[in-house]
Amino acid sequence: MKTLILSSNGPETPSIAAEIIKSGELVAIPTETVYGLGADGLNPEAVAKIFLAKGRPQDNPLILHVAEAADMEKFCHNIPQAAYILAEKFWPGPLTMVLPAKDCVPLETRAGLPTVAVRCPDNAVTREIIRLSGVPVAAPSANISGKPSTTTAEHVLHDHDGKIAAVVDGGPCRVGVESTIVDLTEDRPRLLRPGGITPEQLMEVLGDLVVDKAVVAQIDKDAVAKAPGMKYKHYAPQAEVVIVAGSRENAAAYIRSHFVPNDRVLCFEEELPLYSGCNPLSYGREADTATLSAGLFAALRELDSPGIGRVYARCPDGGGIAYAVQNRLKKAAAFRIIDPEVEV
Ligand code: AMP
Ligand code: MG
């Protein structure tokens, strides 16, 4: 099929995209986090097309995108007070809540779980598309499964040109990493994935937050994860990524002494002068961590090329959005981290 490229400024774009969704086909949509591969979340056949296009394992559930907060009541029940407070404070925005699912949500969308993930995205055109389609839009990140996420329409076309009905081009995504996911179905709220809404912001509202171990360590592929998708390899370019911790100077000394031709260095803009001759690629400024989250996936995609040996990556410290960047980079590196300051 020919993939339509629709500008998000086009006056007809919301109605054209909504018609495609109603007809059971796929449309890639821009959000503030990453581009999503959207379909009618109540139509199991449409949802099956998402899994097929991405090569996504069937047991990895999708997020339902709604046009307004009140819509969560259509798809979830036993909604705790905390969900209303979080929605009031952070929606539309990069926060996904896991809540008990109503029967109207097909098992295909939630991968057989009794719960469903919902989010109201902060992109006016995408919300208008959802509103006009009259259904919640199921949309995982639009990348091929396992690969770095899509933060531009070009990334989407690279992975799906000719395989999906349309992409809505809304320019580069502002946040650049996927939404924060918080599970509200247990006794204590649980962070399943860090993102644009930070743990600090959640704590301020909830007063309590358990960080799931999938956020900080690699889950064994045979282990039971809170959502099965959490145990899959994620965000990885073809090359082996290794995070090098430590001070700027110690990391540069380590990398420069181990670097061989065809390796690459993924670093902060401030560090570029330390890596002359090592083909460095910056993904943003360490002093402004929002630029790191916005630039990470485009950089990982640039490094997703067969000729590259090893990628030595520098990772920001600290909380806020840096916490989400650490999580994605560590997963891309399969938790391979070298600290030259403790190496013997
Ligand atoms: P993606 O759309 O690529 O960001 O993937 C959606 C993420 O949401 C997956 O990693 C899932 O594990 C998570 N997710 C979706 N539904 C649920 C759910 N019901 N319970 C827990 N996690 C979920
Ligand atoms: Mg994804």
156-176 pLDDT per residue, tens = 999 999 999 999 999 999 999
Q: Which CATH superfamily is domain 240-338 in?
A: Threonylcarbamoyl-AMP synthase, C-terminal domain (3.40.50.11030)
Contacts of 201 (CB under 8 A, 6+ apart): 90
Percent of the chain with pLDDT over 70: 97
261-270 pLDDT per residue, tens = 999 999 999 9
Q: Does 330 have pLDDT greater than 80?
A: yes
Report the pLDDT averaged over residues 75-100: 98
Nearest ligand 1 atom, CA 36: 2
Q: How far apart are CA 13 and CA 168, in angstroms?
A: 8
Amino acid at 250: N
4-176 domain in CATH 1.10.760.10?
no
CA of 157 to the centre of ligand 1 (A): 23
CA of 281 to the centre of ligand 1 (A): 30
Mutation test residue for ligand 1: of 95, 99, 141, 192, the one with most atoms within 8 Å of CB? 192
Q: How far apart are CA 263 and CA 257, in angstroms?
A: 12
193-245 pLDDT per residue, tens = 999 999 999 999 999 999 999 898 887 767 767 766 676 677 888 899 999 99
Q: Closest ligand to 232 CA?
A: 1
Nearest CA residue ID for atom 17, ligand 1: 117
33-83 pLDDT per residue, tens = 999 999 999 999 999 999 999 999 999 999 999 999 999 999 999 999 999
Q: What pLDDT is stored for residue 278 in this prediction?
A: 96
Q: How far apart are CA 265 and CA 341, in angstroms?
A: 19
CA of 264 to the centre of ligand 1 (A): 31
Report the pLDDT averaged over residues 264-290: 98
Threshold 0.85, pTM exceeds: yes
Q: What pLDDT is stored for residue 145 in this prediction?
A: 93
Report the pLDDT averaged over residues 183-202: 97
Strand partners, 281: 266
Q: What pLDDT is stored for residue 216 in this prediction?
A: 85
Q: Which of 228, 231, 198 is nearest to 214 (CA)?
A: 231
Q: What pLDDT is stored for residue 231 in this prediction?
A: 66
Q: What pLDDT is stored for residue 229 in this prediction?
A: 63
Band (pLDDT 50/70/90 cuts) for residue 314 is very high
Q: How far apart are CA 50 and CA 303, in angstroms?
A: 25
Strand partners, 79: none
134-159 pLDDT per residue, tens = 999 999 999 999 899 999 999 999 99
- How do the domains of the chain map onto residue ranges? 4-176, 240-338
Band (pLDDT 50/70/90 cuts) for residue 184 is very high
Band (pLDDT 50/70/90 cuts) for residue 343 is low
Q: Which residue has the tokens 């995609």?
A: 301
Nearest ligand 1 atom, CA 34: 4
